[in-house]
Amino acid sequence: MAEMLIKNGFVFDPINRINGEKMDIAIKDGKIVGSVNERRAKKIDATGLTVMPGGVDIHTHIAGAEVNTGRLMRPEDHVKDVVRKTPLTRSGVGYSIPSTFVTGYRYSKMGYTTIMNPSMPPLEAKHTHEELNDTPMLDKASYPLLGDWWFVLEYLRKGDLTECARYVAWMMGTSKGYAIKIVNPGGLESWGFGRNVHSIDDEVPNFCITPREIMCGLAKVNKMLNLPHTIHLHTNNLGLPGNYATTLETMRALESVASGDKPVAHITHLQFSSFAGDGWGNMRSGAEEISKYINAHNHITFDMGQVIFTDTTTMTADGPFEYTLYELSGHKWVNTDIETETSGGIIPFHYKRNNAVNATQWSIALELALLIEDPWKMFLTTDHPNGGPFFAYPKIIAWLSSKKARMATLKKCHKKAQKKSLLPSITRELTLYDIAIVTRAGQAKALGLKEKGHLGVGADADIAIYNINPEKTDIARKYKTARRAFGNAAYTLKDGKVVVKDGEITQHVDGKTIWLDVQTAEQVKVDEEMKRRFKEYWTVEYDNYPVFDHYVKVPSPITVKADV
């Protein structure tokens, strides 16, 4: 394969502590190498441009049953954003729940190359993988929803962590998943009969186990299995006023699992879990309390869940939460409970500047991202499409890196939200180096993806080049320039191939599907007894449950050696 040289760019590669140095990046066979033959190599002149590793998204709902039901239920979302077929690319629709091809193209145009699809019901995992096959330009992985899976509840209740770990290992391979996803632990099983849990010590009906036990149990299992990512957690009471207290309790509970500075959990879309106040009337930000705790502890990582002022679609496995939104909005409502495993809900939602609660949510996410001092702890997401569509990331980059940008938006917000917002008192502005951390390096590190998020020798040649000259452009002042640049990469390289140039797709590539092959000393026994139990729990046969190899177009399994 051809060699390539990216010449003379300003390189931001935080994992290798490179901060805007002018240097060349050499590529061979889709990987970053130390050097290439100058003469033979194809060259990209990156003079005056910013070079970063390809973007990594730790949490974005782009494929699977739930996303697709969102697409189905919202034709009105699609008509305002249609995408034509070209000789190189497929047609489709965009906006908050884009069709699969358009999803791939749009991420690629922003310089993203790897995404994590965070909400996969194992029973419907084949669906997720079929859609991922049709999502081009990106490497991708999915997190199976395991926090309310009956097997987990039963083994944790028995205190049998080893057997629980074996089943989780089995499930990773069976569903071709990447990390343990936990959503409103205990709440989803309760939702099976229309109930919910309201604190981390509420008992789950019929299962005699608490959310605390589920989270801590699975965090331990995660450690026993040596999974590259931590448990990926959506907290209890998400989206409800006063829930910052639950979040603090959750973080404290997880201290018991931590050892040293290695994270044991990732709390996702933290904004939705940081509300203070005791009702919608006096709902306010809990960012101060939350960030204070986080600044003093290192056992958890986070992502923002930034709200964007637009019409979007909320979708989560948290069925009871979506029901609450339905009660509040009366909007069209989808609920999809999945036998033995999880639940789900969808509601269209329009975040408005002149709504005090929405505007406060917008402010909370930014407050958190700016008050949490260490950028390696807090990553940029919208929980696409829950807080807003992913193509709004350049806006968030602008808000984070420019006080001017965020104050311009805050000025247009609801008066009450403006008054309560902490943003006017925060002066911090993220640098390009910080931005590279919160949009790629930090995420790759938290995910344990060794070949992503950096430009060192051996890394995948997934690279984004942006039209920003850090010597000439101060992104804190020229935030509109930054926004444009991050929205339309000058180049995106996937596995060493130029797939985007000047914000346009130049080549269709498939991208790999990553999952874990977790090897335990002893495996789950698949005997008649297991199959019988299986038949009791699910309405499909054991033999038909797994995601077979042929369901993945470009497979890229990672082998993990477990301690059990």
Partner 1 sequence: MSIVKAVTCPVCGSLCDDIELTVENNEVVKVKNGCAMCESKYLGYKSEHRIRTPLVRKDGKFVPVSMDEAVHKAAEILANANYPILYGWSSTNCEAQRVGVELAEEVGGVLDNTAVVCHGPSILSVQEVGIPTCTLGQIRHRADLMLYWGCDPWSAHPRHLERYTSFTEGRFEDSAWKAYLQKVKAAAGKKKLVSAERLEFVKSRPRPQTQACTISGPPQTLKKDGRKLIVIDVRKSMTAEMADYFIQVEPNKDYEVMQAIRALVRDHELDVDKVGGIPVEYLEEVADALVNCNFGVIFFGMGLTQSAGKFRNIDVAISLIRDLNRRTKFAIMPMRGHFNVAGANIVSTWQSGYPYGVDFSLGYPRYNPGETTCMDVLLRGESDASLVIAADPGATFPKRAVEHMVKTPLIVIDPHMNATAMLADIVFPSAFVGIEVGGTAYRMDNVPLPLKKVVEPPAGILPDEEILKRILEEVRIIKAQKMAKQAEAA
Q: Which segment (123-131, 136-144, 383-391, 500-508) binds Zn ion by CB under 5 A?
A: 383-391
Work out what residue 563 binds among partner 1, Zn ion, none; the CB cut-off runs from 5 to 8 Å by kind.
none
Answer yes or no whether residue 414 interacts with partner 1 by CB under 8 A.
Answer: no
Binding residue for partner 1, selected from 58, 63, 380, 400, defined by CB under 8 A? 63
Answer yes or no whether residue 213 interacts with Zn ion by CB under 5 A.
Answer: no
Answer yes or no whether residue 303 interacts with Zn ion by CB under 5 A.
Answer: no
Work out what residue 403 binds among partner 1, Zn ion, none; the CB cut-off runs from 5 to 8 Å by kind.
none
Complex with partner 1: residue 335 or 355, whichever CB lies closer? 335
Complex with partner 1: residue 293 or 542, whichever CB lies closer? 542
Helix (H), strand (E) at residue 31: strand 31-33
Answer yes or no whether residue 47 interacts with partner 1 by CB under 8 A.
Answer: no
**Positions in 345-374 near partner 1 (CB under 8 A):** 346-347
- Count residues near Zn ion (CB under 5 A): 1
Q: Find how far residue 187's CA is from the centre of its chain.
A: 21
Ramachandran angles phi, psi of 494, nearest 5°: -120, 120
Site track for partner 1 across 122-151, x = CB under 8 A: -xx-xx--xx--x-----------------
Complex with Zn ion: residue 89 or 273, whichever CB lies closer? 273
Nearest-angstrom CA–CA distance, 193 and 205: 9
325 contacts 106 by C-beta, under 8 angstroms = no
Binding residue for partner 1, selected from 10, 12, 101, 391, defined by CB under 8 A? 101
Nearest-angstrom CA–CA distance, 133 and 151: 29
Q: Which residues contact 278 (CB under 8 A, 6 or more apart)?
A: 241, 242
Complex with Zn ion: residue 257 or 304, whichever CB lies closer? 304
Nearest-angstrom CA–CA distance, 437 and 276: 28
Work out what residue 336 binds among partner 1, Zn ion, none; the CB cut-off runs from 5 to 8 Å by kind.
partner 1
Site track for partner 1 across 311-350, x = CB under 8 A: ------------x--x----xxxxxxxxxx--x--xx---
Q: Which token pair is 123? A: 């029973």
Nearest-angstrom CA–CA distance, 436 and 514: 23
Nearest-angstrom CA–CA distance, 367 and 359: 12
Complex with Zn ion: residue 383 or 460, whichever CB lies closer? 383
**Least distance between partner 1 and beta carbon 279 (Å):** 20
**Least distance between partner 1 and beta carbon 137 (Å):** 15
Q: At CB < 8 A and 24+ separation, what contacts does 469-477 make? A: 469/10, 469/48, 469/49, 469/50, 470/10, 470/20, 470/50, 470/432, 471/10, 472/48, 475/398, 475/401, 475/402, 475/432, 476/401, 476/402, 476/403, 476/404, 476/429, 477/402, 477/404
Answer yes or no whether residue 8 interacts with partner 1 by CB under 8 A.
Answer: no
Mark 499-514 as b/e (b = at least 16 C-beta within 10 Å): bbeebebeeebbbbbb
Complex with partner 1: residue 261 or 543, whichever CB lies closer? 543
**Least distance between Zn ion and beta carbon 7 (Å):** 39
Answer yes or no whether residue 474 interacts with partner 1 by CB under 8 A.
Answer: no
Binding residue for partner 1, selected from 46, 65, 380, 417, defined by CB under 8 A? 65
Burial status of residue 537 (CB atoms within 10 A of its CB: 0-12, 13-18, 19 or more): middle
Residue 438 has what DSSP assignment?
I
**Positions in 315-334 near Zn ion (CB under 5 A):** none
Nearest-angstrom CA–CA distance, 490 and 48: 11
Answer yes or no whether residue 383 interacts with Zn ion by CB under 5 A.
Answer: yes
**Least distance between partner 1 and beta carbon 308 (Å):** 20
**Least distance between partner 1 and beta carbon 109 (Å):** 17
- Count residues near partner 1 (CB under 8 A): 59
Strand 112-120 with 139-144, pairing:
parallel
Q: Which token pair is 51? A: 């070079």
In this structure, how many other beta carbons lie within 10 angstroms of the beta carbon of residue 533?
A: 14
DSSP conformation letters of 361-376? HHHHHHHHHHHS--TT
Complex with partner 1: residue 261 or 528, whichever CB lies closer? 528
Work out what residue 470 binds among partner 1, Zn ion, none; the CB cut-off runs from 5 to 8 Å by kind.
none
529 contacts 536 by C-beta, under 8 angstroms = no
Nearest-angstrom CA–CA distance, 109 and 464: 9
Site track for partner 1 across 525-544, x = CB under 8 A: -----------xxxxxxxxx
- The torsion of the CA quartet 388, 390, 391, 395, rounded to 10 degrees, works out to 70
Work out what residue 291 binds among partner 1, Zn ion, none; the CB cut-off runs from 5 to 8 Å by kind.
none
| Residue carrying structure tokens 């029973």 | 123
Work out what residue 544 binds among partner 1, Zn ion, none; the CB cut-off runs from 5 to 8 Å by kind.
partner 1
Binding residue for partner 1, selected from 50, 60, 96, 100, defined by CB under 8 A? 100
- Nearest residue to 430 via CA among 381, 384, 372: 372
Complex with partner 1: residue 293 or 545, whichever CB lies closer? 545
Complex with partner 1: residue 285 or 343, whichever CB lies closer? 343
Q: Which residues bind Zn ion (CB under 5 A)?
A: 383
Q: Which residues of the shown chain bind partner 1 in the complex (CB under 8 A)?
A: 63, 65, 68-69, 71-75, 78, 82-85, 90-93, 97-101, 123-124, 126-127, 130-131, 134, 192-194, 206, 323, 326, 331-340, 343, 346-347, 536-544, 548
